[in-house]
Amino acid sequence: MLAAMRWLVYGCRRGDSLVFLYSGHGSQLVDTSNDELDGYDETLCPLDYKTNGMISDDEVHATIVQPLPVGVQLHAFIDACHSGSSLDLPYVCKLNRNGSWQWETYSRVHKKTSGGLAICFSGCDDNQTSSDTSAFTGDTITGAMTFCFIRAVESAPDITYGCMLHGMRMAIREANTGTGIGYPIACVLRKVFRTGLVQEPQLSSSDMFDIYQRSFIL
């Protein structure tokens, strides 16, 4: 998995747009580098993690974020438990008192790219778990965040980052509360997750930008 991540960024140059998608298990380890606000490193769990260990957010950042040169853009989609800061990006979108999204610092250490831009959608906050199910497709496991993301893109090809984040969160919230019966995403989720979803999709970035004006483009 690390080899594939190194391949992704190897030789990238201005104008390149990279995509990293991970849908699987995530966990946490005690932070030993003192760069985490909550005291834990977020991790990805590849198939061989029991023998070769988990991949920490420090490793992910060093492998696919830090090397990004000027003019290169990376979109990461992490549908896993404890995935809020899986890329160790310095800024995360949070709701302010007025109900608007704003960027907040999310790390003790300001880690950077080499001039490029890294943006990450993750399935939940660091202290939450992400739900998955085979009910969407019949025989293939599908994450709730992945499903909501795909439906958001399909519903509005020119959607902004702000609208996408809001739509993903509202779909899961409506599935929990039983409101918005006419909203197709919530209707499906409500049938699948009868015990309720305790997850809030996150948006983080290496640089701050206007999420209400910038359209989502891979």
Q: How far is residue 122's CA from residue 85's CA, in Å, rounded to a whole number?
A: 8
Q: Which residues contact 137 (CB under 8 A, 6 or more apart)?
A: none
Copy the structure tokens of residue 201: 């999709």
Q: Is 119 exposed, middle or buried (0-12, 13-18, 19+ CB in 10 A)?
A: buried
> How many CB atoms are located within 10 Å of the residue 96 CB?
9
Q: How far is residue 32's CA from residue 21's CA, in Å, rounded to a whole number?
A: 26
Higher-pLDDT residue of 82, 186: 82
Listed by start position, the domains of the chain span 2-205
Helix (H, G, I), strand (E, B) or coil at 118: strand
Q: How far is residue 204's CA from residue 87's CA, in Å, rounded to a whole number?
A: 9
Contact by Cβ (8 Å): 130, 199:
yes
Dihedral of CA atoms 47, 52, 55, 61 in degrees, nearest 10, equals -120
> How many CB atoms are located within 10 Å of the residue 85 CB?
28
Q: In percent, how much of the chain has pLDDT > 70?
A: 84
Q: How far is residue 68's CA from residue 15's CA, in Å, rounded to a whole number?
A: 11
Residues paired with 37 in a beta bridge:
none
Residues marked as catalytic: 25, 81
At residue 121, what are phi and psi to the nearest 5 degrees?
A: -100, 125
Higher-pLDDT residue of 44, 100: 44
Q: What is the pLDDT of residues 135-171, one digit of tens each?
A: 555 566 677 788 888 878 888 878 999 999 988 888 7
Q: Is the pLDDT of residue 188 over 90?
A: no
Q: Is the pLDDT of residue 192 over 60?
A: no
Interior CA angle at 54 toward 43 and 112, to 5°? 50
Domain 2-205 sits in CATH at: 3.40.50.12660
Higher-pLDDT residue of 180, 54: 54
Q: What is the pLDDT of residues 10-68, one digit of tens each?
A: 999 999 999 999 999 999 999 888 778 778 999 999 999 999 999 999 999 999 999 99
Q: Is the pLDDT of residue 177 over 80?
A: no
Contact by Cβ (8 Å): 20, 7:
no
Higher-pLDDT residue of 164, 118: 118
